[in-house]
């Protein structure tokens, strides 16, 4: 901890370090995990000052046996649970195929969600049509669970002739206004305050729609995060502010961004925001907390800060190799398990599912992903087949193309 040298000796700079590095034995004993079902569920109109302890605990619903327990259980029907499992399995299969497609040179870049599927998939189910997400690059579950066509996602990834964004954006930087998914920026953090602004606009216009902002643990260090919290707090904006703490920011462990504050959720306390921590690998817990926060926003009770405690199982992106900076078996040691397996086990415990049905569902899901991929590839991949035109490159900088760009387009011969 900070201040290891006391008294009148020379000062010493404190630089936090993870306790485990490559070659070491993974150890998550410092992650304090309460038993499922033990954290209270306050009424949505609770005074934030009365639930400060929720910023230091972890709301969990699924216990080790796969049962849903405690006051946060029961937010989903059997049908919705089965859909949730399918959404997460679809996202996982989608990731697997696109990761491979990148390796095969069909696109330049990809980022996967392995281990974090529950966060975006379950959150999406707590929102209403018309609500708006301001996501990062690791929330494709919002699109999958929202029914956005996979083939359009793939067209974007391939930058092909059917790419809804005309080849202008890096793969996975989707945008769909219709599906409540704000255009992803490569510049970390920018979307967090924009979500607050969107929510403020909805309140200004006496609308009923709410917004959700998304940010990674590492990116909470950006000033945009702090701007979002102060604006949300000052104007009591109808927004859910989501921090996805997957323990890593590329090679940097979460302690560098968190510093001396016990948790990321605790950042909200100084702003007077209700701040909750939730088991991000527990589909039921994510959904229940999302629903609670969304309801607060919708009922004009103001913003909520939520930290999802999860783990980035895969590499940061296809440009990254985590074996250089973290223990190889760390993901196996992660104490909150795998979100897909946990929901699967829950469905089995409830008598709604079986191993055979799971296998069958895996095959169906993979078939649908492969079918979408075939269709997308018929429109081209990054380096072969149909591509967006060079003309497209000049369009859309402004609503009306100014003369200087028109001249440049002519010079380019298109």
Partner 1 sequence: MPRMTMIEAIRSAMDVSMERDDDVVVFGEDVGYFGGVFRCTAGLQQKYGKTRCFDTPISELGIVGAAIGMAAYGLRPCIEIQFADYVYPAFDQIASEAARIRYRSNGQFTCPIVIRMPTGGGIFGGQTHSQSPEALFTHVSGLKVVVPSNPVDAKGLLIAAIEDPDPVIFLEPKRLYNGPFDGHHDKPVTPWSKHALGEVPEGHFTVPLGKAEVRRAGAELTVLAYGTMTYVSEAAAADTGIDAEIIDLKTLLPLDLETIVASVSKTGRCVIVHEATLTSGFGAELAALVQKHCFYHLEAPITRVTGWDTPYPHAQEWDYFPGPARVGRAMIETMEG
Buried b (16+ CB within 10 A) or exposed e, 40-52: ebbebebebeebe
Out of ligand TPP, partner 1, Mg ion, none, what residue 204 binds, judged by CB under 5 to 8 A for its kind, is none
Residue 322 CB, nearest approach to partner 1 (Å): 10
For position 387 contacting partner 1 by CB under 8 A, the verdict is yes
Which residue's CB is nearer to ligand TPP, number 46 or number 250?
Answer: 250
For position 330 contacting Mg ion by CB under 5 A, the verdict is no
Among 389, 386, 341, 372, residue whose Cα is nearest residue 151: 372
Q: What secondary structure does DSSP assign to 31-44, as a single string?
A: S--PPTT-S----T
Helix (H) or strand (E) holding 132: strand 132-134
Backbone angles phi, psi at 68, to 5 degrees: -95, 120
Which residue's CB is nearer to ligand TPP, number 316 or number 344?
Answer: 316
Q: How far is CA 332 from CA 24, 239, 365, in A?
A: 14, 34, 25
**Residue whose C-beta lies closest to Mg ion:** 216
Residue 286 CB, nearest approach to Mg ion (Å): 16
Pick the piece of the chain touching Mg ion (CB under 5 A) from 31-39, 59-67, 93-101, 213-221.
213-221
Residue 26 CB, nearest approach to ligand TPP (Å): 18
Out of Mg ion, partner 1, ligand TPP, none, what residue 325 binds, judged by CB under 5 to 8 A for its kind, is partner 1
Cα gap 340→318, rounded to integer Å: 22
Among 195, 177, 190, 188, residue whose Cα is nearest residue 303: 195
Residue 257 CB, nearest approach to ligand TPP (Å): 7
Pick the piece of the chain touching partner 1 (CB under 8 A) from 47-55, 71-79, 140-148, 162-170.
162-170
Cα gap 281→335, rounded to integer Å: 10
Measured over the CA atoms of residue 299, residue 54, residue 52 and residue 273, the dihedral's sign is: negative
Out of Mg ion, partner 1, ligand TPP, none, what residue 138 binds, judged by CB under 5 to 8 A for its kind, is ligand TPP
Among 222, 279, 282, 377, binds partner 1 (CB under 8 A): 222
For position 187 contacting partner 1 by CB under 8 A, the verdict is yes
Residue 312 CB, nearest approach to ligand TPP (Å): 5
Which residue's CB is nearer to partner 1, number 192 or number 292?
Answer: 192
For position 372 contacting partner 1 by CB under 8 A, the verdict is no
DSSP 25: P
The answer to whether 271 and 227 have CB atoms below 8 angstroms apart is no
Cα gap 81→288, rounded to integer Å: 12
Helix (H, G, I), strand (E, B) or coil at 327: coil
Residues in region 265-324 near partner 1 by CB under 8 A = 319-320, 324
Residue 113 CB, nearest approach to ligand TPP (Å): 9
For position 100 contacting partner 1 by CB under 8 A, the verdict is no
Total residues binding partner 1 (CB under 8 A): 52
Residue 157 CB, nearest approach to ligand TPP (Å): 17
Residue 136 CB, nearest approach to ligand TPP (Å): 6
For position 133 contacting Mg ion by CB under 5 A, the verdict is no
For position 217 contacting Mg ion by CB under 5 A, the verdict is yes
- Measured at the CA of 110, the angle between CA 87 and CA 311, to 5 degrees, comes to 60
Backbone angles phi, psi at 240, to 5 degrees: -105, 125
For position 379 contacting partner 1 by CB under 8 A, the verdict is no
Among 287, 291, 301, residue whose Cα is nearest residue 232: 301
- Measured at the CA of 241, the angle between CA 123 and CA 183, to 5 degrees, comes to 75
For position 257 contacting partner 1 by CB under 8 A, the verdict is yes
Helix (H, G, I), strand (E, B) or coil at 370: helix
Question: Applying CB under 6 A, which residues contact ligand TPP?
Answer: 136, 138, 186-188, 216-219, 244, 246, 248-250, 312, 316
170 C-beta neighbours (distance < 10 Å), count: 17
- Which residue has tokens 């599927």? 117
Among 246, 263, 318, 381, binds Mg ion (CB under 5 A): 246
For position 220 contacting Mg ion by CB under 5 A, the verdict is no
Q: How far is CA 107 from CA 100, 145, 265, 314, in A?
A: 10, 24, 36, 18
Q: Which residues of the shown chain bind partner 1 in the complex (CB under 8 A)?
A: 12-13, 15, 17, 21, 108-109, 159-160, 163, 166-171, 173, 185-189, 218-219, 221-224, 249-252, 256-257, 259, 319-320, 324-325, 382, 387-388, 390, 392-394, 397, 404-405, 408, 412, 414
Q: Which residues of the shown chain bind Mg ion in the complex (CB under 5 A)?
A: 216-218, 246, 249
């Amino acid at each position: 901890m900070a201040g290891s040298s006391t008294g009148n000796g020379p000062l010493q700079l404190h630089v936090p370090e993870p306790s485990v590095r490559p070659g070491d034995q993974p150890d998550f004993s410092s992650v304090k995990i309460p038993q499922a079902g033990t954290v209270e569920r306050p009424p949505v109109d609770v005074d934030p000052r009365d639930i400060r302890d929720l910023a230091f605990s972890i709301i969990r619903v699924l216990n080790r046996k796969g049962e849903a327990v405690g006051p946060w259980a029961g937010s989903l029907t059997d049908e919705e649970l089965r859909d949730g499992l399918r959404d997460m399995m679809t996202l996982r299969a989608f990731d697997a195929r696109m990761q491979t497609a990148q390796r095969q040179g069909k696109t330049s870049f990809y980022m996967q969600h392995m281990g974090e599927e529950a966060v975006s998939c379950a959150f999406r189910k707590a929102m209403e049509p018309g609500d708006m997400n301001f996501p990062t690059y690791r929330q494709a579950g919002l699109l999958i669970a929202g029914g956005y066509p996979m083939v359009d996602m793939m067209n974007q990834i391939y930058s092909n002739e059917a790419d809804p964004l005309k080849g202008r954006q890096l793969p996975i930087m989707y945008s769909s206004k219709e599906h409540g998914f704000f255009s992803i920026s490569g510049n970390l953090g920018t979307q967090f305050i924009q979500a607050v602004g969107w929510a403020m606009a909805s309140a200004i216009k006496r609308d009923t729609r709410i917004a959700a902002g998304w940010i990674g643990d590492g990116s909470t260090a950006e000033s945009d995060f702090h701007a979002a919290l102060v604006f949300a707090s000052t104007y009591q904006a109808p927004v859910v502010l989501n921090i996805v703490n997957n323990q890593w920011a590329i090679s940097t462990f979460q302690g560098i961004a968190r510093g001396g504050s016990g948790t990321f959720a605790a950042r909200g306390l100084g702003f007077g925001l209700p701040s909750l921590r939730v088991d991000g690998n527990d589909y039921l817990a994510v959904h229940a907390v999302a629903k609670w926060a969304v309801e607060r926003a919708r009922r004009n009770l103001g913003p909520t800060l939520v930290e999802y405690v999860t783990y980035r199982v895969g590499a940061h992106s296809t440009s990254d190799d985590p074996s250089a900076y973290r223990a190889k078996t760390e993901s196996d040691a992660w104490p909150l398990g795998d979100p897909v397996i946990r929901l699967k086990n829950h469905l089995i415990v409830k008598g709604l599912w079986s191993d055979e049905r799971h296998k069958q569902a895996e095959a169906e899901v993979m078939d649908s992903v492969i079918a979408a991929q075939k269709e997308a590839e018929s429109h081209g991949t990054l380096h072969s087949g149909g591509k967006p035109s060079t003309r497209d490159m000049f369009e859309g900088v402004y609503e009306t193309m100014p003369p200087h760009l028109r001249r440049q387009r002519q010079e380019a011969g298109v």
